[in-house]
Amino acid sequence: MKSSFKLLNRLLSLVIIFFISTFQYTFAETKDIWQQSKEIKTNVIQEENKPEQLPSTIFNIEKKNTTNLSIANIVETNIEEKNREIIFGIYDPEATGIPIDFWKNIDPVIFKDFEKAMLENQNNKAFQILIKKIFFSKINLNSFEDNGKAYLNFISSLLAENKNIELIDEVIDQNSLLLNNQKLLRFLIDHHFSLYQISKACGYAEQMGPDIQDIELQKFKIYCLVKSKQNKKASANLELMKEVGFQDEFFIKKINYLMGNFLARSGEANSDSLLNIHLSHEADKEFSPSYAVFQKDIIRKKYFFKSPLFKKMNIDFNKEYQTEEDFALINFLEDAANLELYDYSLIFKLYKKIVFGIDDLLNPIENYSKYNPTKGKALLYQSILLSQDDEKKLIFIRELNRLYQTSNMASLGSKMFFQLTGKMSKKLITKDVLNEVEIKNAGKLSSMNTGTINNKILHQSDVINLVAASTKENKKLLGILNDFDKQIKKNKYIVSEKDIALINLLENSKVSIPDTLKKHVIKEEIYIPNKIYNLLEKKENAQAILENLSLVKNLNINQDYNRNFHIIVKIFDRLGLETIKKDFIKNELLAS
């Protein structure tokens, strides 16, 4: 009986212990599951509300001093997690007047449609400046339906087409979100590769996003990975390319050789592409292709003269140059000198090594055209050196300059012209003669005097400052205006279309205008085009500004310039973009 009671007690203790253990385990497990469920729910909500991530690349490239674009306050791209904003741009909204959410209601497709219209014929300097101010003003990318993808693609294409490397570097230094655009990435890599800045080109290529499917860019990326000793990653990328059908045997061999498989070298070389030329030289430092393979395009030419290959080019300045092959070599060097890749004075040294007869030298204008164009230039040059008569010499110089222009070497022609006319009488170098000298390759846009005051021309004079003058008029500026009035009365100054635009601006700004100038004030009412007017009425300001930019881009001095000029000003007024309006007025009127 006693043993049965003990057994029962023991059994009861075991049941109690088991129950307590089970209860504790169950309680602990319930708490963990509840907490886990709560965490999962929170994570799901966060993921649902999380904006789609934009392709972003962070890379380490050599920073450079960039041109000061008079930006009031540039800061790093700012991502505020609290408000989930991704801020893109280099100009503060306070400096441009464009709100940070200016584009929020615009259909992303519009940027794709607008891209071609904006990128064609960008000759208008005022248009270029407005493009920078408007599209590089800081905006919140998350205010777009697509989180700014179409906008960034438009910006990338704009940068690639503009080819302003200083602006590109400045934008990318602040915002690395643009490197997933194939067109921009191709431009950046080609630009730095052509200048033999291999490390910088690779800095872009190695961070290339998965959306970039261009085979040549993918090949360059693999080369860069090998160059930076990332052989495993390079091999993995190469295998992935092979899996989708990549079969470039030359490239595969050279990459394997550069990774240490010396049996893959096989002593072969290839010049079908610039990358193949570079790989051939990397695998064999004795590789020295003919200059002819670099004639195909400007990228190859730049690469040749910036790379070690140029140093292997032996140019003999003592021999006579008479064959077509000789002239082809000099022509190649002429083109390089025009691009400022080769010392142009050495071209003239080679011209002297071409032999001519007495009759040719006495009658160069009649005889030069019967020769190879390069030999013809040499004949004119030698005749210039031999002539003792400055008037006759100038005839030869002008003809030589014309030859350079017809050969698309205007920059070289300009340098030659100023060198050879430097000691001539200034009376001979008339305005008509100077007008023949084209300096496109030296930067014709910069010669438009945008932003530069010239008090000899009304629309470029200090008078423009009267437009923004306060009620207290500036006596000095009015004095300049009255001087123009006197010149017009004496028929010493002819009023241009741009002058008329300025005169009407002054009238609208309530500036007291002299009677002679008042004759050019247009009394008729100026109306905004219906399409843009309707957009403004509907508060579709983003679309309206795009349409107004089209008007700026197509502003033609020969097609009712004053009316179209003031329509543009009126639209900017309706948009409330006072700063952008002033930029337009200043840069449009001060341009030549």
What does the pLDDT look like over 264-279, one tens digit per residue?
Answer: 665 688 999 999 999 9
Is residue 8 scored above 60 in pLDDT? no
The token pair that represents 159 in the structure block: 């940068």
Q: For 317-326, what is each residue's pLDDT tens digit?
A: 999 999 999 9
Q: Note whether residue 553 is domain-resident.
A: no
Pair 361, 462 in one domain? no
Pair 415, 343 in one domain? yes
Give the model's pLDDT for residue 378: 96
Greater model confidence, 592 or 363:
363
Q: Note whether residue 82 is domain-resident.
A: no
Pair 404, 487 in one domain? no
Q: Note whether residue 261 is domain-resident.
A: no
Structure confidence at residue 438 as a pLDDT band (50, 70, 90):
low
Pair 496, 397 in one domain? no
Pair 330, 416 in one domain? yes
Bridge partners of residue 88, in order along the sequence: 139
Helix axes 182-194, 215-227, angle to 10 degrees: 50
Pair 431, 342 in one domain? yes
Pair 435, 493 in one domain? no
Q: Which of 331, 342, 333, 410 is nearest to 374 (CA)?
A: 331
Pair 431, 488 in one domain? no
Is residue 175 scored above 90 in pLDDT? no
Is residue 520 scored above 50 in pLDDT? yes
> Of 440, 470, 494, which residue is a domain's last?
440
Is residue 201 scored above 90 in pLDDT? yes
Is residue 227 scored above 80 in pLDDT? yes
Whether 172 and 178 have beta carbons less than 8 Å apart is answered as: yes
Q: Note whether residue 480 is domain-resident.
A: yes
Pair 486, 436 in one domain? no
Distance between CA atoms of 89 and 78, rounded to whole angstroms?
10
Q: Which structural domain, as residue segments, surrounds residue 390? A: 324-440
Whether 222 and 256 have beta carbons less than 8 Å apart is answered as: no
Q: Note whether residue 267 is domain-resident.
A: no
Pair 505, 399 in one domain? no
Average pLDDT over residues 26-43: 35
Longest dimension (CA), the chain: 149
Pair 435, 467 in one domain? no
Q: For 453-512, what is each residue's pLDDT tens digit?
A: 888 888 888 888 887 654 455 778 888 888 888 888 888 899 889 999 999 998 888 888
Q: For 344-357, what is each residue's pLDDT tens digit?
A: 999 999 999 999 99
Angle at 519 between CA 514 and CA 520, to 5 degrees: 100
Q: For 522-537, what is each residue's pLDDT tens digit?
A: 888 889 999 999 999 9
Whether 379 and 361 have beta carbons less than 8 Å apart is answered as: yes
Percent of the chain with pLDDT over 90: 41
Q: For 271-312, what is each residue's pLDDT tens digit?
A: 999 999 999 999 988 899 999 999 988 999 999 999 999 999
> Of 493, 518, 543, which residue is a domain's last?
518
Angle at 550 between CA 507 and CA 115, to 5 degrees: 155
Q: Within 13 Å of residue 298, how many CA atoms lie on the same side as its CB?
A: 10
Type of residue numbered 230: Q
Is residue 211 scored above 60 in pLDDT? yes
Give the model's pLDDT for residue 429: 84
Is residue 45 scored above 50 in pLDDT? no
Cβ partners under 8 Å of residue 34, min gap 6 = none
Range with lowest mean pLDDT among 54-68, 379-393, 539-553: 54-68
> Of 440, 467, 485, which residue is a domain's last?
440
The overall average pLDDT reported for the chain is: 80
Is residue 176 scored above 90 in pLDDT? no
Give the model's pLDDT for residue 120: 65
Give the model's pLDDT for residue 53: 35
Query: Which spans in 244-342 are helix H?
Result: 249-258, 274-283, 298-306, 324-338
Distance between CA atoms of 349 and 132, rounded to whole angstroms?
44
Q: Note whether residue 53 is domain-resident.
A: no
Q: For 110-156, what is each residue's pLDDT tens digit?
A: 887 777 766 665 567 788 889 888 988 998 888 888 888 888 888 88
Pair 429, 474 in one domain? no
Q: Note whether residue 77 is domain-resident.
A: no
Give how many domains the chain has, as a whole number: 2
Dihedral Cα 180, 182, 184, 189, nearest 10 deg: 100
Q: Note whether residue 376 is domain-resident.
A: yes
Mapped onto helix, strand or coil, the DSSP state of residue 182 is helix
